[in-house]
Structure 1
Amino acid sequence: MDDIDIDIGKPFSKPDAGLPGLFVAAAYSGTLSTVSSSVNALAAVTIEDLIKPYIHMSEKHLSWTSKGLSFLYGALCIGMAGIASLMGSLLQAAISIFGIIGGPLLGLFSLGILCPYANATGGLAGLLSGLVMSLWVGVGAQFYPPLPEQSRPLGLTTHGWNFTTAADAFNWTASPTEPGLYTTVLQQNTEGV
């Protein structure tokens, strides 16, 4: 017992060693519960709105169908996350996905608002064809980006121009080094100074 030297006044070497792990566990469990409730809500809405009114099933079959749809939607979410990781930054992926889906949905809403004679069959056909076309363009742009010679940006060089700045008087002069071209002078008004 003589070997152990405990000094009450000294703090431990890592007083908050478990706090970051607890924080990560709390964030992970919150994220997992949100994703699982969203997947189960998708399955429940699909069962209640799309399957139950048209197909008469027993409660046991509805339960198995709901579990299968939950698995399907979970796999779809994992697949979309994998695709989004290949698309580069998360913001770029979100903007691309919103652009692919948003255009056909805007067309469907515009059809419903502006054309009172449109029916559900025509709206669904237009939505699906718009989604197919925008998915074709969006996915094709990810797998086959344009060649550098097809996406040439404008040049940013100032070849042939001489820029001088006088910091004291805020006098900016831009003139070409070759005579006979333009000369631009911007001067600050110093009358009231």
Structure 2
Amino acid sequence: MSKRKNSTVIVSPASREIARGARPVFVVALQNNGKIPSDFRVTNVTVVQLQNGAASRPMPVVPYETLVSEERTRQVVGALLVGVAAAGNSYAAQNASYTRGGNYSPIAGAINGARADAQNSAMIGDAVAAGQLNLAALEQNVIKDNTLLPSEWVGGQLHIEPPQGGTEGPKTYVITVPVGDEIHEITVSQGKLV
């Protein structure tokens, strides 16, 4: 937590553990303690990894728009995979409609085709629903630019590119969050202490 005259910033990990090599995600809460509106811009947030107590490299903040673009890319790839799975399901259903003698059974074809259509429809529907939920979660949870009115709190997830370095010891970095004309610095130590 960082408290200045006109603003307060609280930063907390979004989950108990951050997987090595994964993007750290933090929940950031901001309050305007001043008497006039105060601006917050995600592009002004910086994160710098420390090595031996000195700044060693920037860790870019991943903006909402990038997260949405990545999710849409995942959805396109997922749609292609679902399409391939649906085609395979339909093909298998038609192959299952042949008798042992190699003759096609129209009744079995209709039953198997209807079953495959229902399964494919459910599979596609589930993929679409999951994609919509993921986009809605990003919209609702990720912090965005904001003008904080006096006494107002805002917050959301801040996604950061992962720290670099060896596997030994914790990774330390400083998250700098400007709110209005005040600067808040939060030092994070990620990983097990040796």
Structure whose residues are more often helix by fraction: 1
TM-score by length of 1: 0.27
Structure with the higher fraction of residues in strand conformation: 2
Q: Which gives a bigger RCO, structure 1 or 2 (Cα 8 Å, sep 6+)?
A: 2
Q: Normalising by structure 2, report the TM-score.
A: 0.27
